[in-house]
Structure 1
Amino acid sequence: MSAILVTGADLAPQALALLQGFEMIYAGKTPTQDDLLALCRAHDPVAIIVRYGKVDAAMIDAAPSLQVISKHGSGTDTIDKVAAKARGIEVVAAAGANAAAVAEEALALMLACAKSVVQLDARMRAGHWDKATHKSLELHGRTVGLVGLGAIGQRFAKMADAMGMRVLGFDPFAKDLPAFIQPASLDDIWRESDVVSLHCPLTDENRNLLNAQTLAQCKTGVIVVNTARGGLIDEAALLEAVRSGQVRSAGLDSFAVEPMTAGHPFQQDPRILLSPHIGGVTSDAYVNMGTAAARNLLAVLDRRAVAA
């Protein structure tokens, strides 16, 4: 029986129903690279469903029967696509399966930043009543700049438009954009946005896209939201921009190193709202991503079986 390795502890029952006839191998909740490598060597999977951790060249080399790597989600930056291509292994992603969940998380973080939700809650619990002194930011009529206009970015754009925000968007690959998204350059995004929200995949070209230079180009008091990949932001530069007031606040669901360890400087600044990369983790998205990942890998295996 051919094996499928899941780099996590579970898979939605609906996805498992699609994969009957395969031996399912689970790596656990927090697999290390050594754990994953050992499982590849022991079981020689025909497919890998990627939930946590990375699929590196060593894993690919350790699984001679491997034909497809299927992401349980949309981002494939944790997969060594060069090594996979060299072996003729297909890499597929569940694009759009968690779009609603992540877009809602971005909206929640933007609103929490603009309305000081977390800070005011803490002040109330400490016995304060800041009605006479606090003013939040009204988002109606403000400009939000989106970097990345895939399924998640466009869904978030629709929400922002419904709130009466002006929506600027940068994505060199996006086509046939709805009328409420105004195409813009990155320079336009930095210069004109009251909120900058990141929705693009991480590549070698855009690593540290938000850095000291680009943050300095933004409006004073800009809000930064990141529900994409932590590597898009130079974290030291963002922290300095928050401390100086150049950035009003930041809502972050992803980080350069995950999981975040105790003592990270972000944990000490209440103007940086932290979320443990759970934007795409809802009960609905769990099913959607699992079934999409299963269908994607089955499509590859079926196509290859016919070709053989």
Structure 2
Amino acid sequence: MSQSKILVTGSDLAQPAIDLLSGFDLVFAGKAPTEDDLIGLCQTYQPIAIIVRYGKITSKVIDVCANLKVISKHGSGIDTIDVKAAEQKGIAVKAAVGANANAVAEHAWALILACAKDVVYLNDRMQQGYWDKSAHKTLELKGKTLGLIGFGSIGRRTAEIAVAFGMDVLAYDPYATQVPENVTLTDLDTIYTMSDVISLHCPLTDESRELIKKDVLEKLKPGVILVNTARGGLIDEEALVERVRSGVMGTVALDSFHSEPLEGEHKFTGLEGIILSPHIGGVTGDAYVNMGVGAANNVLSALQSKAS
């Protein structure tokens, strides 16, 4: 009898994760599987589990799966999975929570520092032959206020680094019951009006979709730095473009977007005051292993639970 199949919606998986799943046949969907690709693979192989790296696990994908017991995210965000459709069929949905926390927090800080110190702008000026030492001042972070929206494992690590910089740290998270003594839990309005830097670390849900919209952007302090290494849907992109063009905000740095990858002449293309990176915050060698192992362990524990 052939082994049960696990579909991986990507072209690879860390070797330690593969080793953990040695009792199963792994089927790889490729680098950028479409919904039709995933439907076809599920119809052909009828996986017992899906490890989600790229693409979306929609209700149509779930509907063609007769043996599926668990959908395991290779990372922490499950917004690419139709959780309600899975739950209706008794399929467990798991995330590798915290597996890439340090990687994403470090990337958030790379972007915060790039904004505060005008790294991209000054590099471009230098490449053009300018020497702006006497005419340009950057932002010193010590004594400034960092506002974190979301205080899970990534937000906590981001806060630790902020404290090392000598910043005051505010955090909003309706699910956080306690925080370190050097972090203050507060409401969103306080985050919006008091922060010199705002960093997003919350999941994308119906409640948080376009959380940062026009009226919120108008509340932010002049010169505020806004960084998003979470999910693109948290920000109203049209309103953000309008606000950036107004010159009121400081630099914005984005690692995630409404639609990925960015295609053609995107609204952010060539826009001064925005730094972009290709949703790479959690993509490090260490995080790749951690997320793979976390996803594999979640598959194994879910299958064991279903069997018992």
TM superposition score normalised by structure 2: 0.98
> Tell me, what secondary structure is at the counterpart of 2:108?
helix
Deviations 1:149-182 (A, max 9, x none): 0000010011011101110000010122111110
Aligned to 1:44: 46
Contact 1:216/1:246 (<8 A) preserved: no
Determine if the alignment matches structure 1 residue 230 to structure 2 residue 232: yes
Aligned counterpart for 2:116 among listed residues 109, 114, 117: 114
Q: Which portions of structure 1, spanning 4 or more consecutive aligned residues, are displaced by more than 3 angstroms?
A: none
> Tell me, what secondary structure is at the counterpart of 2:251?
strand
> Tell me, what secondary structure is at the counterpart of 2:250?
strand
Deviations 1:73-127 (A, max 9, x none): 0000110000000000000000000000000000000000011001100110111
Aligned to 1:274: 276
Q: How many residues align?
A: 306
Aligned to 1:175: 177
Instruction: Report the residue type matching 1:84 in the other structure.
Output: A
Contact 1:119/1:270 (<8 A) preserved: no
> Tell me, what secondary structure is at the counterpart of 2:61?
helix
Determine if the alignment matches structure 1 residue 133 to structure 2 residue 135: yes
Aligned to 2:189: 187
Aligned to 2:85: 83
Matches within 5 A, 1:153-168: 153-168=155-170
Contact 1:5/1:24 (<8 A) preserved: yes
CA distance in 1, matches of 2:163, 2:243: 27
CA distance in 1, matches of 2:48, 2:248: 50
Instruction: Report the residue type matching 2:226 in the other structure.
Output: V
Instruction: Report the residue type matching 2:135 in the other structure.
Output: T
Aligned counterpart for 1:303 among listed residues 278, 285, 305: 305
> Tell me, what secondary structure is at the counterpart of 2:268?
helix
CA distance in 2, matches of 1:194, 1:241: 16
Deviations 1:190-249 (A, max 9, x none): 000011110000001111111110010110111100000000000111111111122111
CA distance in 1, matches of 2:304, 2:235: 40
Instruction: Report the residue type matching 1:124 in the other structure.
Output: M
CA distance in 1, matches of 2:230, 2:121: 24
Deviations 1:261-307 (A, max 9, x none): 121121211310000000000000000000000001100111222x2
> Tell me, what secondary structure is at the counterpart of 1:225?
strand
Determine if the alignment matches structure 1 residue 151 to structure 2 residue 156: no
Structure 2 portions without partners, runs of 5+: none
Aligned Cα root-mean-square deviation (Å): 0.7
CA distance in 2, matches of 1:285, 1:157: 19
Aligned to 1:101: 103
CA distance in 2, matches of 1:84, 1:255: 25
Aligned to 1:253: 255
Deviations 1:57-80 (A, max 9, x none): 111111110000000000001100
